[in-house]
Structure 1
């Protein structure tokens, strides 16, 4: 009787030990362990385990959204998601992009609007009436987990125009994944349309300031429960010349997914003149980054070490174009805890990877792969929202 009375406690302890051990195993092999027995399948499928495992998963992969162009007349354009480590991609981009094991097909009308907690938010054009004076599209969104094969139901369709931007992130307060669409009308008024996956409708937020986000970097960057865009204030109309932009026009708009409110974040105080090319935002881990050129001779990276604290902006990197072997470049992305920067030369069809840990520079020919791609930070996970 005494042993029987202790059995439930022992079983609970054993379950906790198994959960602790399994939570340290990488996502791909742990999915196969669900087949070991019913109890392991129950543990691995439990929401608490999914979050614990996600918290302990290393960010050791990148998500490449590729668009392979047709080589011959009649050949269909193909699009897909490819998962690859940064090192593998730099060493052998062709092999990384062509691998079938980690490739997931998308429709031609699809594009990725963000990645968070192992989930990818995919936008899909349902109907398009694009002609002069009426650039209107109807789109919907869905979530997919490339590792598990999970695909969510589509969101309700949303009417958008060419003056819009998207962002995708996680609201911890409601344990929900949300997509935000910023829509700017012809008069400059900006509204936010917010959709929580699993819901039935979009929510309209009308309190945003008038601004124009850069057409080259329209995706909101998720960090600390917020989506962030680099934008221009006090701009009338949609056409502008970068040569006419001043520092006081640059702003960071931060949208809080919990409260549906926004605030403006100041740029680093050390920026004393407008960059020669349009800067971009980036996120890695718990830090926001601002990447830009200086006098078309140097590449500079700023890191906001404490998100939301404008006094924590720190110049992380300043390196000459000469060292990088380029005349002009555009910053694109950050990897490996802010240590590897992906850049592209203006007149070269190649990606330039700079590793500040050893001051090394590596180049990848992207023309040879006949594709256009965007990179997103990605962590493999087992998350499958309801």
Structure 2
């Protein structure tokens, strides 16, 4: 039976979870939904519909940690729908970092292992190990070499919430060199001109007292600057960071003049209630997702200054400072992580 163009148009507008169920309707629908041309059409039709993806770990009733993706869809009237996808992959550590996503595929890694995952189709594929080689020191042998991956992505950033691509330029964290009194900064790379640059941080930022997150708001780059809450180890400098009594979260907006000179202006200061600590990202001009110390996702409205707890919880036993990892512009897709026999497919 030939599938009509009208049916194809209708099916291409449906979410992946519906299409995966509809594959069992008949053979013609099964072959259509699996066809590469339909997968591509469905992806193109999905581009206007971008959502927020939150990755977290939960402990189930048997005491094992599960990898959970939550997809947040925001309507024009301000309401939000949340779809949770629990993935019980024994091969993937739920605590792996979400390094980025593209076309509905997510990259998870701890630098030793890296996986591509499609949360919608519940497929994953482990990537081959890195082939990067560096010269190491082993028993004073100058000819000793070893392979190691210290980061995933562009820029070699040790701060996973800081590297970002925006309007043709990639931004990532740059550590200052104490020997020449250089302060921490932002490194930029113009992809079209292939030019590196350096951007200073707001003067109020203190690496001994503050954390920092790079995000986008209204097509402008913004910085979340907020205080450390407890003793932690700074991965970049391997030193102990002492907590502070500060609570305010400052949001700075990047501005460029006609000559391209960058400056920062304080856009907003948030004084969150007790227990609300980490900003995640803006989901609209006025709404900001935040993380609480009790393991909840909080939505804050900057206009009304009201906080709303969303039904998204993370594992409070998770020792990492951020138990939630949030990314915007996520697209639902049917793309396969790899067309090979060893690809594992988890059915609904």
TM-score, length-normalised on structure 2? 0.60
1:25 corresponds in structure 2 to 14
Distance 1:368 1:82, change over 3 A: closer
1:45-84, aligned counterparts within 5 Å? 45-46=36-37, 47-59=39-51, 61-66=52-57, 68=59, 78-84=65-71
2:164 corresponds in structure 1 to 221
2-side partners of 1:224 and 1:155: how far apart?
Answer: 30
1:21 is displaced (CA, Å) by: 3.6
1:376 to 321, 326, 332: 326
1:166 and 2:152 correspond: yes
Secondary structure of residue in 2 paired with 1:166? coil
Secondary structure of residue in 2 paired with 1:266? strand
1-side partners of 2:224 and 2:68: how far apart?
Answer: 25
Secondary structure of residue in 2 paired with 1:337? coil
CA contact (8 A) 2:281 2:289 kept: yes
1:353 and 2:307 correspond: no
1-side partners of 2:217 and 2:31: how far apart?
Answer: 32
- Which whole-Å deviations, capped at 9, do the CAs of 1:263-294 have from their partners, x for residues lacking one? 336358xx443355132112579654321149
Richer in helix (by share)? 1
Q: Which has the higher contact order (CA 8 A, sep 6+)?
A: 2
2-side partners of 1:104 and 1:226: how far apart?
Answer: 34
CA contact (8 A) 2:59 2:315 kept: no
1-side partners of 2:24 and 2:217: how far apart?
Answer: 34
2-side partners of 1:273 and 1:55: how far apart?
Answer: 39
2:32 corresponds in structure 1 to 42
- Which whole-Å deviations, capped at 9, do the CAs of 1:93-140 have from their partners, x for residues lacking one? xxx8xx9x7201343386132233321112267xxxxxxxxxxxxx23
1:103 and 2:34 correspond: no
1:319 corresponds in structure 2 to 269
CA contact (8 A) 1:166 1:220 kept: no
2-side partners of 1:35 and 1:332: how far apart?
Answer: 42
CA contact (8 A) 1:340 1:353 kept: yes
Secondary structure of residue in 2 paired with 1:53? helix
1:147 is displaced (CA, Å) by: 0.8
- Segments of structure 1 that go 5 or more residues without pairing to the other structure are 1-10, 88-95, 126-138, 168-179, 183-212, 238-243
1:283-362, aligned counterparts within 5 Å? 283=216, 288-293=221-226, 296=246, 298-303=248-253, 317-321=267-271, 324-326=272-274, 331-337=278-284, 339-344=286-291, 348-349=293-294, 352-362=298-308
1:266 corresponds in structure 2 to 199
- Which whole-Å deviations, capped at 9, do the CAs of 1:149-196 have from their partners, x for residues lacking one? 2323522345336xx3323xxxxxxxxxxxx472xxxxxxxxxxxxxx
2:213 corresponds in structure 1 to 280
- Which whole-Å deviations, capped at 9, do the CAs of 1:20-46 have from their partners, x for residues lacking one? 443432332233344455268436642
2:186 corresponds in structure 1 to 251
Secondary structure of residue in 2 paired with 1:108? coil
CA contact (8 A) 1:300 1:315 kept: no
**Coordinate RMSD, CA, aligned:** 4.7
2-side partners of 1:382 and 1:357: how far apart?
Answer: 38
- Segments of structure 2 that go 5 or more residues without pairing to the other structure are 75-81, 132-146, 228-244, 339-348
CA contact (8 A) 1:23 1:52 kept: no
TM-score, length-normalised on structure 1? 0.55
Distance 1:326 1:380, change over 3 A: same
CA contact (8 A) 1:255 1:262 kept: yes
